[in-house]
C-alpha cells in the first residue's frame, strides 16, 4: 500500500511506499486489541447494577458506575457491563485494562449539571488550560475502551459551556491523579478561565468560562478501543483523544453540533467504518497551537481513516489544523465518502498561519467520493484558523508552517464548486509536492495553484466548470500545460465568514 515519502534522491513523489508498521498492524486488526481481547475473554466482568445503578433515566448513576469501574481496574481489569436501561451519569473515569461494554438497549445520558464534570487540566484549541472533564474520561492508563452496541448521548447546548451552569456552578477540581499532565498549570475550581470556552458567550467580567464537557476524552493512554456504538453530542468537540498511542475507532456512528472527532497529538490511529457528522469538522487532526504546541513537539502521526462516511455542516469533512504546531505526518484517508459539505465548505481543508510553525507532510487521499461541497481540497497557510484568543507565535522563519507531500488520487466529485483551491499560500514557504491524479466528475471552477513546487497533475477529467481548468502563479511541476495566470479572488469562504461575523462568531 503506497505511502508517499521522500526517497533517497529527494523526490517528494516517491512511490517506493512507506506505511508505518504500527498502522499495518492496526489495519490487519492484529494489534493489541486482538491480543488484549483474548486476555479479556478470561477476565472478570462487573455489572453496574450490582453496584447500585438503576438505569431508570432519572436517578444519577454516576457513583455506581465509578465503583464498578474502579473495582474492575484494581482487580486487574476486565469488562464493566451495562445492561439495558437509560443511565443518567456525570463524568466517569476509566481505569487501567478496563473496557466499558454497553448492551444494545443501554443508553448513557450525560447530566446537564456542570457540578458533575470536575475541572481539570485539558487541552483545548491547542493549549493546556482548565476545563470540565468529559462524560467518559481516562488519563495515563492502558488497554481501555468502550464497546457497544449501545448508545451514548449528551446535550449541553451551544450555550452550555459558559455562564451559569445548568443546575449549578462549576464543580470542584478533580482528585489528584485524575488530571492530565500539567502542561499548562493546574486547574482548580474558581481558577481564572482561559481561552475560548466552546461556543459559549462570555461569563462574568467578560471572561470566557472554562471549556465544557466533551463526550469522550482519553489523555495519555495507550491501546484504546472504541467500537460498535452510537454517540451524539450537542456542544463543543465530541470525541478528543489526546497524547494517545494505538487508538481504534471502528463501526461508530457519531453526531455533534461541533467537531465529531478531534485527533490531538496521537500516534497510531485507525478510524474505520465510521459514520461521522459534524456541525464543524467531521474529523479534525491537531497537535498544539503556537509556541505552546511547538515547544512540546508532539505530532499527530501514523493515522489511517478508511471506509468512512463523513459529513459536515460548517467547515470540512476532514480538517488538518489549525492547531498543528507540533506537526501532522504520515496520514492516509482511503475508500471514504464525503457528503453534505455545503457550498461554503470543503471536503478537505488544511489550515494554518504564520506563527503556528509545524510541518504537515505525507498526507494521502485515495479512492474518495465527494458530493455537494464548496470544494474538494483547500490549503490555506496564510490566515487559516480562528483568532478568538491571542496566539503565542513562534517567531522567525521557523514559525512559518510548511505543507509538503500531499497526494490525492482516484477522486470522484459531484456538484462541487471549487475543485482545488490552493492559493492562500505563503511565498516564503511554498507547498512542496502536490499530486492530483485521476480526478473525475463535475465542478463549477477548476484548479488554482499559487506558490506550489513539484506539482503533479495527471488524468484530471472534470466537466461543468466555467473559466480555465487550471490557473497558476509561482508554481512548478508537471502536467501544468495550458495553465493561465491566476487572477486574485476572494477567499473561498468569504461569504460564510461575513455571515459568521454578523452573528458575532469566529471562523476556525
Contact 248, 218 (CB under 8 A): no
Q: How far apart are CA 209 and CA 160, in angstroms?
A: 10
Of 417, 290, 288, 294, whose CA–CA distance to 346 is shortest? 417
Q: Predicted confidence band at 185 (pLDDT cuts at 50, 70, 90)?
A: very low
Contact 203, 209 (CB under 8 A): yes
pLDDT over threshold 70, residue 388: no
pLDDT over threshold 90, residue 58: yes
Chain Cα centroid distance, residue 333:
13
Q: What is the pLDDT of residues 60-80, one digit of tens each?
A: 999 999 999 999 999 999 999
Contact 290, 261 (CB under 8 A): no
Return the C-alpha cell found at 381.
497557510
Q: What is the pLDDT of residues 258-312, one digit of tens each?
A: 889 999 999 999 999 999 998 889 999 999 999 999 999 999 999 999 999 999 8
Half-sphere exposure of 396 (CA within 13 A, CB side): 2
Query: Domains in the chain, start-ordered, CATH in brackets?
Result: 26-193+215-387+395-502 (2.160.20.10)
Average pLDDT, whole number, for the chain? 83
pLDDT over threshold 90, residue 348: yes
Query: Which whole-number Å values give the CA distances from 341 to 183, 406, 411, 462, 501, in the listed order?
Result: 35, 21, 16, 19, 20
pLDDT over threshold 80, residue 190: no
Contact 338, 374 (CB under 8 A): no
φ and ψ at residue 323, rounded to 5 degrees: -85, 85
Q: What is the predicted pLDDT for the residue at 95?
A: 98
Q: How far apart are CA 129 and CA 388, in angstroms?
A: 15
The DSSP code for 173 is B
Q: What is the predicted pLDDT for the residue at 391?
A: 72
Q: How far apart are CA 493 and CA 344, in angstroms?
A: 5
Q: Predicted confidence band at 43 (pLDDT cuts at 50, 70, 90)?
A: confident
Q: What is the predicted pLDDT for the residue at 38?
A: 37
The DSSP code for 117 is S
How much is the average pLDDT of 99-125?
A: 96
Give the least confident one: 192-201, 231-240, 354-363. Answer: 192-201
Amino acid at each position: 500500500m503506497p505511502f508517499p515519502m521522500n526517497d533517497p534522491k529527494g523526490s517528494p513523489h516517491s512511490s517506493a511506499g512507506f506505511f508505518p508498521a504500527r498502522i499495518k498492524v492496526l489495519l490487519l486488526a492484529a494489534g493489541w486489541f486482538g491480543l488484549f481481547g483474548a486476555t479479556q475473554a478470561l477476565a472478570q466482568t462487573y455489572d453496574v447494577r450490582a453496584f447500585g445503578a438503576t438505569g431508570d433515566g432519572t436517578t444519577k448513576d454516576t457513583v455506581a458506575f465509578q465503583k464498578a469501574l474502579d473495582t474492575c481496574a484494581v482487580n486487574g481489569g476486565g469488562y464493566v457491563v451495562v445492561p439495558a436501561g437509560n443511565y443518567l451519569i456525570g463524568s466517569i473515569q476509566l481505569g487501567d485494562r478496563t473496557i466499558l461494554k454497553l448492551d444494545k438497549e443501554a443508553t448513557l445520558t450525560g447530566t446537564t449539571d456542570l457540578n458533575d464534570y470536575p475541572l481539570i487540566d485539558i487541552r483545548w484549541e491547542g493549549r493546556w488550560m482548565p476545563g470540565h472533564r468529559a462524560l467518559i474520561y481516562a488519563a495515563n492508563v492502558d488497554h481501555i475502551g468502550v464497546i457497544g452496541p449501545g448508545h451514548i448521548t449528551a446535550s449541553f447546548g451551544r450555550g452550555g459551556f459558559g455562564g451559569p451552569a445548568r443546575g449549578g456552578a462549576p464543580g470542584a477540581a478533580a482528585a489528584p491523579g485524575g488530571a492530565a499532565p500539567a502542561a499548562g498549570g493546574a486547574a482548580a475550581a474558581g481558577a481564572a478561565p482561559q481561552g475560548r470556552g466552546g461556543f459559549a458567550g462570555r461569563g462574568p467580567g467578560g471572561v470566557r468560562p472554562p471549556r465544557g464537557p466533551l463526550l469522550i476524552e482519553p489523555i495519555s493512554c495507550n491501546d484504546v478501543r472504541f467500537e460498535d456504538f452510537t454517540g451524539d453530542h450537542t456542544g463543543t468537540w465530541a470525541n478528543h483523544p489526546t497524547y494517545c498511542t494505538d487508538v481504534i475507532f471502528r463501526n461508530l456512528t457519531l453526531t455533534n453540533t461541533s467537531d465529531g472527532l478531534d485527533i490531538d497529538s496521537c500516534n497510531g490511529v485507525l478510524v474505520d467504518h465510521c459514520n461521522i457528522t459534524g456541525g464543524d469538522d467531521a474529523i479534525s487532526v491537531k497537535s498544539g497551537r503556537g509556541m505552546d504546541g511547538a515547544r512540546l513537539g508532539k505530532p499527530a502521526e501514523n493515522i489511517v481513516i478508511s471506509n468512512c462516511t463523513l459529513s459536515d455542516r460548517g467547515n470540512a469533512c476532514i480538517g488538518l489544523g489549525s492547531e498543528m504546531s507540533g506537526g501532522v505526518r504520515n496520514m492516509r484517508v482511503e475508500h471514504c465518502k464525503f457528503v453534505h459539505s455545503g457550498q461554503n465548505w470543503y471536503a478537505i481543508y488544511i489550515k494554518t498561519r504564520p506563527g503556528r510553525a509545524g510541518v504537515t507532510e505525507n498526507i494521502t487521499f485515495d479512492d474518495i467520493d465527494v458530493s455537494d461541497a464548496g470544494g474538494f481540497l483547500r490549503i490555506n497557510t496564510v490566515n487559516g484558523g480562528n483568532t478568538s484568543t491571542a496566539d503565542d507565535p513562534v517567531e522567525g522563519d521557523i514559525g512559518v508552517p510548511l505543507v509538503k507531500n500531499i497526494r490525492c488520487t482516484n477522486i470522484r466529485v459531484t456538484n462541487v464548486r471549487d475543485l482545488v483551491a490552493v492559493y492562500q499560500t505563503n511565498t516564503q514557504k511554498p507547498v512542496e509536492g502536490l499530486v492530483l491524479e485521476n480526478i473525475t466528475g463535475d465542478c463549477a471552477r477548476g484548479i488554482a495553484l499559487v506558490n506550489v513546487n513539484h506539482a503533479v497533475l495527471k488524468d484530471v477529467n472534470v466537466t461543468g466548470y466555467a473559466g480555465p481548468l487550471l490557473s497558476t502563479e509561482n508554481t512548478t511541476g508537471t502536467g501544468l500545460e495550458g495553465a493561465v495566470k491566476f487572477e486574485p479572488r476572494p477567499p473561498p469562504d468569504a461569504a460564510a465568514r461575513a455571515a459568521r461575523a454578523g452573528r458575532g462568531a469566529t471562523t476556525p
